[in-house]
Amino acid sequence: MITIKEAVTKKEMTEFVKFPFSLYKDNKYWVPPIIADELESFDKTKNPAFESAEAYFYLAYKNNEIVGRIATIINWNEVNNQHKKKVRFGWFDVIDDIEVTKALLEKAYELGRKNNLEHVEGPMGFSNLDKVGVLTEGFEEMGTMITWYNHPYFATHLEQLGFVKEKEYIESIFPFSNVKPEFFLKAQALIKKRYELTSLNFTKTKDIMPYVDKMFDLFNNSYASLSSFVAITDIQKEYFKKKYISFINPEYIKFVMDKNNDIVAFSIVMPSFSEALQKAKGKLFPFGFYHLLKARKDSKDVVFYLIGVHPEYQNKGVTAIIFDEYFKTFSEKGIVNCIRTPELEENHAIHNLWKNFDPRVHCRRKTFIKNL
């Protein structure tokens, strides 16, 4: 018999966060989260996502053992402002038992019907900066700290239960040795001169902070045309600023400025924390923090996290300026591999940025949708 129980108490929420540690035990490709960090992101008093979203967390039990989990989410900005009558589900992990999957998804259907919503889609988080998608290819590729890993049967379960593909995402990787300066060196100089642009680099995190709000405004502007995009709110900007910016190497954040000192393009790259997180095993202490700090300083793999260009400057080659700056930084640091986070398959503009570097698509993932 399968029992579904809402996780409410601290103990239950900790069990919710820890379930994947048993499901993917000894899997060398799964990258675990930091347990305390995950719990904080589910705390309604700490995560500003709850200002515009509601979420419920459920555990599935069979023979008194936890066999699955799911979060059901309504992003009210999406529902009310974009008129997308959608209930989301995320943080979805389950044993290979379709009846467990079916029972967990019923909680998403219930929430959707209760609020007169029309369809359910997932896996996805609260916002566009959360993890997204069921992995469908690349099960033997190392994950990143900003992607979910799952077993191959996840997609099969969803398809058998009447879900169909809604969005597909691709992830790619290329060796830094593929990056040749002739691709952008001459172009970036011409573009700087033609549009009166300058590059802005950093060595200290405190110097970045005054620009972060404007950077997120530009992020909202850059991606507004994508059908799945939900803008980041002012409260979320403050949260992400404190949570993430201070942990990213300042040398890995690049801005392009116009003659009025406004940001027209930006990029955020992170060192790969995958191996460090595997060594940390979900805990910062006693040694997890050391592994993360070491990776921040010494990782030879980098993850391109965000890149944004103002709509007025798209298709004008502004990214050549960004690539030129990263080439100099990565050459100094001896970077070996460049990894791309999930990009919408339909976002051809972003794919074209990387074509000269001969990237290899190493993972694919999808969100699935079902009408209620």
Q: What are the φ/ψ torsions at residue 69 (nearest 5 degrees)?
A: -150, 160
Stretch 97-101: mean pLDDT, rounded?
Answer: 98
| CATH architecture assigned to 2-170 | 3-Layer(aba) Sandwich (3.40)
Percent with pLDDT over 90 in the chain: 86
Task: Report which secondary-structure segment, H or E, holds 127.
Answer: none
pLDDT tens for 322-338 read 999 999 999 999 999 99
Q: Which amino acid is at 53?
A: A
Per-residue model confidence (pLDDT) at position 228:
67
Per-residue model confidence (pLDDT) at position 198:
97
pTM of the predicted model over 0.75:
yes
In the block, which residue shows the tokens 């190493």?
362
Most distant pair of Cα atoms in the chain: their distance:
69
Per-residue model confidence (pLDDT) at position 227:
66
The CA distance from 232 to 49, in Å, is 9
Per-residue model confidence (pLDDT) at position 64:
93
Same fold? 2-170, 174-363: yes
- Domain spans, the chain: 2-170, 174-363
Neighbours of 49 (CB within 10 A): 25
Which of 236, 43, 243, 31 has its CA nearest to residue 146? Answer: 31
Q: How confident is the model at residue 347 (pLDDT cuts 50, 70, 90)?
A: confident
Average pLDDT, the chain: 94
Per-residue model confidence (pLDDT) at position 260:
96
The CA distance from 102 to 19, in Å, is 18
9's CB contacts (< 8 A; 6+ apart) are: none
Percent with pLDDT over 70 in the chain: 99
In the block, which residue shows the tokens 């995009």?
229
Q: Tell me which CATH homologous superfamily contains domain 174-363.
A: Gcn5-related N-acetyltransferase (GNAT) (3.40.630.30)
Per-residue model confidence (pLDDT) at position 270:
95
Per-residue model confidence (pLDDT) at position 310:
94
User: Which of 80-84, 110-114, 147-151, 198-202 has the weakest average pLDDT?
Assistant: 80-84
pLDDT tens for 25-82 read 999 999 999 999 999 999 999 999 999 999 999 999 999 999 999 999 999 999 998 8
CB 362 within 8 A of CB 171: yes
Structure-model confidence comparison of residues 225 and 150, the more confident one: 150
pLDDT tens for 183-236 read 899 999 999 999 999 999 999 999 999 999 999 999 999 888 776 677 888 888
Stretch 113-119: mean pLDDT, rounded?
Answer: 97
Cα–Cα distance list, 157 to 5, 31, 326, 364 (Å): 21, 23, 42, 17
Is residue 5 scored above 80 in pLDDT? Answer: yes
Is residue 171 scored above 90 in pLDDT? Answer: yes
Which of 173, 171, 81, 102 has its CA nearest to residue 132? Answer: 171
